[in-house]
């Protein structure tokens, strides 16, 4: 599991990597911040993460992420399309190009992974099995969390 830690003001504290079953009492992040994880009731019966180990919040949501390479593929697809419209590429080169794009697309679909994010401190958890009861981001829960944590919220510009 890779953890991207944020403090309650939303400041990035760096990352840390934890092997499955590893529950250190204290550790250091990649930005040399001391981090004391809260492991109490952090895992459910199946050993999946249930609570945020940074702030102890019970509310986490799942979020699908796409690798940065996607932008490159879109540009490449547009270039291939433009070349075919202009008649610059036809026949075999075109076919090879489209096949390569298709393979890259499928690979990206397989690579894209889900991340678990804490509603309260926005700490992100990568490369882990996400329990079924964690849902996608929910406006109502987010609003409730924000109201409950207003004293920590330094940039509550929108009141929606």
**Among residues 16, 49, 55, 115, the one that binds Zn ion under rule CB under 5 A:** 55
Q: Is the dihedral of CA 14, 20, 60, 150 positive or negative?
A: negative
Contact 58, 119 (CB under 8 A): no
- Asked whether position 121 contacts Zn ion by CB under 5 A, the answer is yes
Two tokens, residue 111: 């690579």
89 binds Zn ion (CB under 5 A): no
Q: Where are the beta strands (DSSP E) in the chain?
A: 2-6, 12-17, 27-28, 34-35, 60-64, 114-118, 124-126
**Residues 49, 54, 89, 115: which binds Zn ion (CB under 5 A)?**
54
Q: Is 120 in the site for Zn ion (CB under 5 A)?
A: yes
Q: State the binding string over 123-142 for Zn ion (x if CB under 5 A, else -).
A: x-------------------
Which among 16-24, 29-37, 98-106, 122-130 is the span making contact with Zn ion, rule CB under 5 A?
122-130
Tell me the CA distances in angstroms from 84 to 79, 90, 95, one per residue in order: 9, 6, 10
Stretch binding Zn ion (CB under 5 A), from 77-85, 110-118, 130-138, 150-158 = 110-118
Which residues sit at the interface with Zn ion, rule CB under 5 A? 52, 54-55, 57, 118, 120-121, 123
């Amino acid at each position: 599991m890779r953890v991207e830690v944020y403090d309650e003001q939303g400041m990035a504290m760096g990352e840390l990597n934890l092997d499955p079953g590893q529950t250190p009492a204290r550790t250091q992040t990649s930005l040399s911040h001391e981090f004391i994880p809260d492991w109490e009731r952090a895992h459910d019966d199946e050993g999946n993460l249930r609570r945020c180990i940074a702030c102890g919040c019970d509310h986490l949501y799942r979020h699908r992420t796409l690798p940065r390479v996607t932008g490159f593929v879109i540009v490449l697809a547009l270039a291939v399309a433009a070349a075919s419209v202009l008649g610059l590429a036809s026949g075999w080169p075109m076919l090879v190009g489209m096949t390569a794009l298709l393979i890259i697309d499928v690979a990206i679909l397989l690579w894209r992974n889900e991340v678990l994010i804490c509603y309260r401190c926005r700490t992100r958890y990568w490369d882990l099995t996400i329990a079924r009861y964690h849902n996608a981001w929910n406006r109502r829960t987010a609003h409730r969390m924000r109201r409950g944590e207003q004293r920590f919220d330094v940039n509550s510009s929108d009141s929606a």
